Amino acid sequence: MAKYRTIRDLDWSLLIIILVICAVGILQIYSATRGTAWEQAWWRQGLWVLAGLMLLWVMVSIDYHTLVGHAFVYYGLAVGALVLVLLVGRTVSGGKRWLGFGPIYVQVSEFVKIVILLVVARFLAELKTERLAVRDLLKLVGLIGLPMALVMRQPDLGTALSYLPILAVGILVAGLRWKYVAVIVLAAAVVMPLSWLVLQDYQKARLASFLDPARDPRGSGYQTIQSKIAVGSGGMWGKGVARGSQTQLRFLPVPHTDFIFSAFAEEHGFAGVVVILGLYFVLLMQIVQNAQMAPDRAGVYISMGVCALLLFHVLVNIGMVVGRMPVTGIPLPLMSYGGSNILSMFLMLGLVNNVRLRRFVS
Amino acid sequence: MSLSSSPETGDYRVSGPPVLRDDTKFASGKIAIFQYFTVVVFLYLIAGFWLVQVRDPEYYSEQAERNRIKALPVLAARGKILDRDGRVIVDNHASFTLILSRENLKDTHLRPIAAGLNLDYDRLRTRLARFSSRARYEPILIKDELTPGELSFVEAHRDPDTFPEMELIPSQRRLYPQNDLAAHLIGYVGEISEGELNSPEFARYEQGDVIGKAGLERQYNDILMGVDGQRRVVVDNRGREREVIGLKPAVSGKNLQLTLDLDLQVVAELAMENRKGAVVALDPRNGEILAMVSTPAYDPNKFAGRIRSDDWRLLVNNPDVPLLNRATQAQLAPGSAFKPIVALAALETGAIDDSFQVRCGGGASFYGRYFKCHLKGGHGTVDLHKGLTQSCDVFFYNVGNRTGIDAIARYAEEAGFGRKTGIDLPHEAEGVVPSSEWKMRNFRQKWYAGETISVAIGQGALTATPLQLAYAIGGLATGGVWYRPHLVRDPNRREPPRIAKINPANAAKVVAGMYGAVNEGGTGVRARLPGISVCGKTGTAQLVSNELLRASKLGQSLKDNAWFVGFAPCESPEIVVATLYESGEHGALAAPVVRDVIKAYCDKKARTARTQMLAEVRQAAPQLGPTAPQAVPAP
């Protein structure tokens, strides 16, 4: 059924918040990369944002039910793409994550996130039972587990783990008997120590540094320590735009990607931190509201999935900046420099808007 | 596309549009749970930032500063040591010191760095461990006096990509005179050790400080040692300097001007070449030390850096004990050189008077023992004057016997024996003045009169240092006025001398006897100088008294020590010189050393007077003489 979409129906507050955060991100990238090889990054980021906006518009135009309907098709494509990455992917700093199409490099695992969203939504929305049966749970875990395993092989533990929140929130919303929750927790408790064996050396080092950064201040603890120093020295009001010494003197590692929030905190202080965190919070709550207004279960799962994903990224990245999370390669959505990251985020937000637009359908 | 909803019959269909449930309120409770969870997460994050930015920003700001600011020491130059005429004895010379900055230090670099600098790897590690308690931004000195090869190693490798922790800073290294001149006097410097750091004396110093370890370097370390400055620079993460933000200049140490006269010192050192012993020359009018020699000596330049353990072991194991400053630390029996004191004690207490005489036949018996005189046939009839001139043992046995040990001890102590003179050198020895009280205190036994006999000729339990001998006789020669011996001139500090009540007539008699020893055919003729009235006293101290033992092989190596103490001019002495010549066998053989020093003193004095007079003459009449005219005062 064709639905007349008005501009008014778009979630404007959401869009404005997103654009504000993007703008802050661009400013920070500019400040952090002045005088370095990455000098051009800031306006490139601007281009990505514009491209993202266009993708958002495209995404909004397609009825999400179509997408959900083809979820398993996309799933097959995604898995295929991941396999392809492992075989012919471009290696960048020790990891095969990128597929090259001419001058453009695509980080496949980022886009797989969207597919996972769709698959989870499809699977759970079709459930007959009130709560997740064990069989269905296992099937779902298997569905998500496969791409996760493929991504972990790249190796990219951070991105692989980011698929989990989608799964987790899906299970939360679908409902699970407490018995099973307890079993899962126990299983996790058993698996975690075992997973230590599977972890690569640098990952082990990162975990160890997380627990005690002072242990190896020149090596793996370095980033956390430098980040905290940058953040702390910003104090209440920050050192001012482009005046953060830790950033400007290059003590802060990758200040335009993973540690962009450290650079921001150094230059804008606690006040700035509270404002941006506030914006992210409002963003999340806005998406939750969309979930509550969704016309059907699929919409709920999609919106909540995006929400969980966002929350996970924010928690892990910003937590890492202030030493409350281990160092991972997880970017900060909308702020960290990176085309794939921006595009996939806008695609997801497009999905959310998509759901919202259809909310009057009965 | 339409949506069909059939909650009861919702079947899975692989093809066709999916059947999706549309009851959306099912999840409101769980969504609410998620919302609360989100709030908790954000609070967790905000708390993290609050802790770091609001509660502890100073700590992190400081860390940020530490990151970007590197502090390099500017080493202070140590003060020079000069002689009384301003001539440089100890100097510094410019060199480079290598330091490691711990900020950039990587464990894996240590081995190649040690190899490139010819350092022992394990020692380097130990050294780094010793410094771990210091603040992280303070660098560690690991080597100075780099060879050209090592310098080029450093220059080639200290870029940020290789070994950025290496830094070269200009420094000053101690340069001591060649030929071991005044080695014991000067001492040497070295890095402060663990033990020293723990003692209260060195509480002000820190790990890595270079301090004086012996001699004047140690005694006056506070004056000589400057205060290091600091250069603060902003660096980026590669350690490259971006700008200098602070410069605290180093405060150089102050120079030390000694009372030492290099001319006399050189003469004394030459006179003692190939001998073991000591020479002390001082001015009894004010206590200034004019020369001090102790041989064998050592080369302090070996200590100037870090002494190699082989060199150290050689010094420490050398049976001739070169590290001992014999002038202030050798405690030996002075022999007959002690007789003037005994004479004084006897005269002052009235044990003898002008008419006292003794018959010397080559020996005498006291308390069941036979004591020999050094002259086999004896001296015949001996009075005080002859007793001093000829150094007759039998005479002094009698004198000592009559005076008693306690009176002798009293005057000996009055003269300065048995305790430190207070010279400004570390570790001065006190010597021993035996007395009945001393024996009771140390051995819980009564003093036997027979023991006084040996003491009367400067043997027995009596020991003294060459410095004490010079000091004692100097005061005696000036009629009972003793100034504390010192090596550093300080016009401000005028210490009053110690004055003893001595009958000047008695002192004069003793001095007359010492005049006779040198000028009237006495034992000290070898100290005689034409045109200068020199007084003195020989001393021959036995190490072994047993005749048989002396004849044996062991006895050969334990030959008598030769002492001589002399002063000039006799009426109002300006210089006192005491010499110890170990294994010299006869005091007479020590006399020429004293003569040479006194001669050098007098020659210099005459020379200075001549130069002065010439300068005055030229000032008054510039046309006299071929030299350039001096500034002429307006007529």
pLDDT of residue B6: 40
d(CA A351, CA A215): 44
* For A298, nearest residue in chain B (alpha carbons): B20
Angle at B301 between CA B297 and CA B305, to 5 degrees: 135
Which one-letter DSSP state was computed for residue B31?
H
pLDDT of residue B267: 95
User: pLDDT-derived band of residue B430, with 50, 70 and 90 as boundaries?
Assistant: very high
How far off is chain A from B2, nearest CA to CA, in Å? 6
**Between B35, B53, B234, which is nearest A269 by CB?**
B53
User: pLDDT-derived band of residue B428, with 50, 70 and 90 as boundaries?
Assistant: very high
How far off is chain A from B162, nearest CA to CA, in Å? 15
**Alpha-carbon distances, residue A335 vs A208, A263, B597 (angstroms):** 28, 11, 89
Best A249, A250, A312 residue to mutate vs chain B (most B CBs within 10 Å): A249
Best B5, B34, B165 residue to mutate vs chain A (most A CBs within 10 Å): B34
Task: Return the amino acid letter for A186.
Answer: L
Return the closest-CA partner of residue A44 out of A104, A111, A92.
A104
Instruction: Write the CB contacts of B97 (distance below 8 Å, at least 6 apart in sequence).
Output: B75, B141, B143, B144, B146, B168, B169, B170, B171
User: pLDDT-derived band of residue B120, with 50, 70 and 90 as boundaries?
Assistant: confident
B411 pLDDT higher than 80: yes
d(CA B438, CA B445): 10
pLDDT of residue B493: 65
- Pairwise pLDDT comparison (A7 vs B435), residue with the higher score: B435
Contact between B394 and B378 under an 8 Å Cβ cutoff? The reply is yes
User: pLDDT-derived band of residue A362, with 50, 70 and 90 as boundaries?
Assistant: very low
Tell me which residues of chain A, numbers 146 to 175, contact chain B at a CB-CB cutoff of 8 Å: 169, 172-173, 175
Chain B residues whose CB is inside 8 A of the A361 CB are 3
Strands (E), A50-183: 90-92, 95-101, 104-107
Structural domains for chain B: 69-257 (3.90.1310.10), 262-298+321-611 (3.40.710.10)
Return the closest-CA partner of residue A312 out of A272, A267, A340, A345.
A345
pLDDT of residue A1: 39
- Pairwise pLDDT comparison (A70 vs A277), residue with the higher score: A277
Contact between B576 and B565 under an 8 Å Cβ cutoff? The reply is yes
How far off is chain A from B4, nearest CA to CA, in Å? 10
* For A320, nearest residue in chain B (alpha carbons): B45
The phi-psi region of residue A318 (left if phi > 0; otherwise alpha if psi is between -120 and 50; otherwise beta) is alpha
Q: Mapping DSSP to helix (H, G, I), strand (E, B) and coil, where does residue B401 land?
A: helix
| Highest mean pLDDT: which range of A133-142, A156-165, B539-548, B569-578 | B569-578
Mean pLDDT for the stretch of residues A13-37: 86
B515 pLDDT higher than 80: yes
Angle at A42 between CA A41 and CA A47, to 5 degrees: 95
- Residue B222 forms contact with A (CB below 8 Å): no
Which one-letter DSSP state was computed for residue B567?
E
| Highest mean pLDDT: which range of A349-358, B90-99, B320-329, B565-574 | B565-574
User: pLDDT-derived band of residue B1, with 50, 70 and 90 as boundaries?
Assistant: very low
Strands (E), A232-334: none
Chain A residues whose CB is inside 8 A of the B26 CB are 175, 297
Lowest model confidence (mean pLDDT) among A288-302, B196-210, B478-492, B533-547: B196-210
Contact between A344 and A110 under an 8 Å Cβ cutoff? The reply is yes
Q: What's phi and psi for B309, nearest 5 deg?
A: -65, -30
User: pLDDT-derived band of residue A2, with 50, 70 and 90 as boundaries?
Assistant: very low
Instruction: Write the CB contacts of B453 (distance below 8 Å, at least 6 apart in sequence).
Output: B366, B367, B369, B371, B397, B400, B401, B460
Task: Return the amino acid letter for A174.
Answer: A
pLDDT of residue B212: 87
How far off is chain A from B290, nearest CA to CA, in Å? 59
pTM of the model: 0.62
Instruction: Write the CB contacts of B18 (distance below 8 Å, at least 6 apart in sequence).
Output: A65, A68, A69, A122, A125, A126
Angle at B437 between CA B432 and CA B442, to 5 degrees: 65
Instruction: Let me know how long chain A is.
Output: 362
B421 pLDDT higher than 90: yes
The DSSP element (H or E) to which B481 belongs, if any, is strand B481-482
- Pairwise pLDDT comparison (B131 vs B226), residue with the higher score: B226
Q: What is chain B's mean pLDDT, rounded? A: 84
User: Which residues in A98-122 are b (16+ Cβ under 10 Å) and which e?
Assistant: bbeeeeebbbbbbbbbbbbbbbbbb
User: pLDDT-derived band of residue B268, with 50, 70 and 90 as boundaries?
Assistant: very high
Angle at A18 between CA A17 and CA A23, to 5 degrees: 95
Tell me which residues of chain B, numbers 17 to 36, contact chain A at a CB-CB cutoff of 8 Å: 17-24, 26-28, 30-31, 33-35
User: pLDDT-derived band of residue B136, with 50, 70 and 90 as boundaries?
Assistant: low
Chain A residues whose CB is inside 8 A of the B41 CB are 311, 314-315
Lowest model confidence (mean pLDDT) among B136-145, B348-357, B368-377, B463-472: B136-145
The residues pairing with B244 across neighbouring beta strands, listed in sequence order, are: B233
What are B315's two structure tokens? 């010094």
User: pLDDT-derived band of residue A211, with 50, 70 and 90 as boundaries?
Assistant: low
- Catalytic hit among B171, B252, B294, B336: B336
User: pLDDT-derived band of residue B11, with 50, 70 and 90 as boundaries?
Assistant: very low
Contact between B632 and B617 under an 8 Å Cβ cutoff? The reply is no
Contact between B482 and B498 under an 8 Å Cβ cutoff? The reply is yes
pLDDT of residue B398: 93
pLDDT of residue A231: 87
**Alpha-carbon distances, residue A220 vs A201, A215, A253, A327, B314 (angstroms):** 11, 9, 12, 9, 50
Which one-letter DSSP state was computed for residue B55?
I
Mean pLDDT for the stretch of residues A41-46: 86
Angle at B304 between CA B300 and CA B308, to 5 degrees: 90
3-state SS string for A186-236:
HHHHHHHHHHHHHCCHHHHHHHHHHHCHHHCCCCCHHHHHHHHHHHHHHCC
**Between B38, B57, B67, which is nearest A311 by CB?**
B38
pLDDT per position as a tens digit, B291-332: 999 998 888 887 765 666 777 788 888 888 888 899 999 999
pLDDT of residue B486: 92
DSSP string, B143-196: EES--HHHHHHHHHH-STTS-TTEEEEEEEEEEPPSTTTTHHHH-EEEEPPHHH
Q: How many CB atoms lie within 10 A of CB A198?
A: 10
pLDDT per position as a tens digit, A216-264: 555 556 778 788 888 888 888 888 877 767 666 667 777 777 888 988 9
Contact between B265 and B150 under an 8 Å Cβ cutoff? The reply is no
d(CA B458, CA B454): 7
The answer to whether B309 is a known catalytic residue is no
User: Which residues in B72-90 are b (16+ Cβ under 10 Å) and which e?
Assistant: bbbbbbbbbbbbbeeeebb
Instruction: Write the CB contacts of B239 (distance below 8 Å, at least 6 apart in sequence).
Output: B70, B101, B103, B104, B160, B164
Q: Mapping DSSP to helix (H, G, I), strand (E, B) and coil, where does residue B294 land?
A: strand
- Residue B48 forms contact with A (CB below 8 Å): yes
The phi-psi region of residue B432 (left if phi > 0; otherwise alpha if psi is between -120 and 50; otherwise beta) is beta
d(CA A150, CA A156): 9
Q: What is chain A's mean pLDDT, rounded? A: 80
The residues pairing with B141 across neighbouring beta strands, listed in sequence order, are: B99
Mean pLDDT for the stretch of residues B401-409: 93
The ipTM value here is 0.86
pLDDT of residue B33: 86
Q: Helices in B391-428 by DSSP H: which ranges? A: 393-403, 405-415
pLDDT per position as a tens digit, B575-626: 999 999 998 888 888 999 999 999 999 999 999 999 999 888 888 876 655 5
